[in-house]
Amino acid sequence: MKIKSLKSRQDSLAQTEKQLEILSGGIFKDGSLPTFKEKVKASNLEAVRPIALEILQINVGYMCNQVCAHCHVDAGPDRKEIMTHETLEQILAVLQVNKIKTVDLTGGAPEMHPEFRWFVEEIRKTSVEEIIVRSNLTIILANKKYHDLPEFFAKHKVHVISSLPFYKRGKTDKQRGDGVFDASIKALQMLNKAGFGIPNGSLELDLVYNPSGAFLPGNQKALELDFKKALKEDFDIEFNQLFSITNLPISRFLDYLLASENYEEYMYSLVEAFNPMAVENVMCTNTISVSWEGFLFDCDFNQMLGLKVDASATHISEFNTDILSDRNIRLSQHCYGCTAGAGSSCQGSIA
């Protein structure tokens, strides 16, 4: 079945207020489950607070060649939101005067931004140590103009992090669309050929696994071994690490949970798996997420919920680390997704 974005379907969940209402209502309103804030407090943990900023995660726009069933960005070919040149310049100005270790480029498919390559080259001129591109893999094969992306990534020592929900066709195509598995395999082989993911090599290729349904990811290391064995044996593909990421109950995944009547059970699973150890390492403590419009958020998920940073400066044009490091991180019940089990972040498990 061909999926469309919530926005183009004019679904009520395309309104972030509606999503926040669901996340604060029902089982959290009637006291069946504690809110995230209550849970953190009851566990005698310090409030979630920012530490030194290390990662600037930049969402360059929502356009994507894929429409994945679980997408928390609600991205797709029908989304036209795109970062302007002015905002890209403002980000570069921030990178020139602030010590930021990692820039993490995401979307949509970030490679589809017309100034993507120029932007990567400009970031390389700053003191940023690591440039991550979150690639959906199939973009490399989507059009001739993208076929040389592996060489471009290699030239600029880009750290490629790619989604591959499973090492077999069925589950991958069900979540990400027909034909995605075969195209992803071909793209991974092209990345290997360009030197990515080779053990002891310098070019990093990591994969992201997220469950294809209303359940939590299993042990990251065990899944990594399964992925490595299967991809090597079946397709002669190598990669560095597997990051297992929990699906957060927002946007299209929230829509799926509600439609399949799994929402309450899923929230119970997340709350039950609450791990205090993971709270200390949640990614919002060392990351700032920038939207295509240049606004600042605690994380990509808060960005999709429209929850701007709780600070006096909320736009990249007024970026100020002192103000940002003194902010309170905005929390709601989706935050349970980052603290369940071994925890979850854009870099996988955290506890």
With beta carbons less than 8 A apart as the criterion, state whether 274 and 340 touch. Answer: yes
Shortest distance (Å) from residue 211 CB to other proteins: 7
Which are the contacts of 294, defined by CB distance < 8 A and separation ≥ 6?
83, 87, 90, 91, 315, 316, 317
Shortest distance (Å) from residue 1 CB to other proteins: 19
Q: Could you give the CA distance from residue 204 to residue 72 in angstroms, rounded to a whole number?
A: 25
Q: Which is nearer to other proteins, 54 or 226 (CB)?
A: 226
Q: Which is nearer to other proteins, 203 or 216 (CB)?
A: 216
Strand-by-strand arrangement of the 102-106 sheet: 242-244, 205-209, 159-163, 130-135, 102-106, 55-59, 287-290, 296-297
Beta strands of the chain (E only): which ranges? 55-59, 102-106, 130-135, 159-163, 205-209, 242-244, 287-290, 296-297
DSSP conformation letters of 156-205: TT-EEEEE-S-SSHHHHHHHH-TTHHHHHHHHHHHHHHTTBT-TT-SB-E
Binding site residues, other proteins, CB under 8 A: 166, 168, 211, 213, 215-219, 222-223, 226, 268, 272
DSSP code for 295? B
Shortest distance (Å) from residue 132 CB to other proteins: 25
Q: Which is nearer to other proteins, 14 or 273 (CB)?
A: 273
Q: Which is nearer to other proteins, 77 or 213 (CB)?
A: 213
Rounded to 10 deg, the angle between the 251-259 and 263-272 helix axes is: 120
Return the closest-CA partner of residue 255 out of 267, 247, 263.
Answer: 263
Shortest distance (Å) from residue 230 CB to other proteins: 10
Q: Could you give the CA distance from residue 74 to residue 71 in angstroms, rounded to a whole number?
A: 5
Beta bridge partners of 207: 162, 242
Q: Which is nearer to other proteins, 118 or 268 (CB)?
A: 268
- Indicate the burial class of 178 (C-beta count within 10 angstroms; 0-12, 13-18, 19 or more): exposed
Q: Which is nearer to other proteins, 220 or 314 (CB)?
A: 220
Q: Which is nearer to other proteins, 248 or 299 (CB)?
A: 248
Shortest distance (Å) from residue 32 CB to other proteins: 10
Q: Which is nearer to other proteins, 43 or 127 (CB)?
A: 43
Which are the contacts of 118, defined by CB distance < 8 A and separation ≥ 6?
none
Q: Could you give the CA distance from residue 327 to residue 159 in angstroms, rounded to a whole number?
A: 30
Shortest distance (Å) from residue 109 CB to other proteins: 26
CB neighbourhood size of 324 (10 A): 18
Q: Which is nearer to other proteins, 213 or 306 (CB)?
A: 213
